[in-house]
Amino acid sequence: MQVGWRARLARIMVRKLDQGLTATVVAAEFGWSAGHLHRKLISETGMTFGELHTRLRVRRAARLLRGGTTVDEAAASVGYADARGLQRAFKRSGLAAPAHFKGGASSRGAQRALP
């Protein structure tokens, strides 16, 4: 059974979230150009590579934070240089600050807000 390209793409990206991924690097995994990957993503998901990459990073960081990881550790785990970069990504994604994902009722509300 052949795995769909989107499932394969997600696995590749999740596996390498902490490494400065580019569309060129990921497209090469498929034998495609970055432009071809970009066109496929836009036509089939409505998202750019950068938007998908940010979404996956933010989701992973939110899971780590709910599990007790510090904001600094979560930021490093998903490839941000510091907590400030992660905070900006959460804000661009329309989510509460990363600290709101840690413990208690606020983390349950933040979980529902994930894209």
Q: What tens digit of pLDDT does each residue of 14-31 get?
A: 888 888 789 999 999 999
Helix, strand, coil percent content, the chain, rounded in steps of 5: 70, 0, 30
CATH architecture of the domain covering 5-112: Orthogonal Bundle (1.10)
Q: 36-65 burial, b if ≥16 CB within 10 A, otherwise e?
A: ebbebbeeeeeeebebbbbbbbbbbbbebb
Tokens of 4: 């769909």
Domain segments of the chain as ranges = 5-112
Q: What is the pLDDT of residues 46-86, one digit of tens each?
A: 999 999 999 999 999 999 999 999 999 999 999 999 999 99
pTM of the model: 0.79
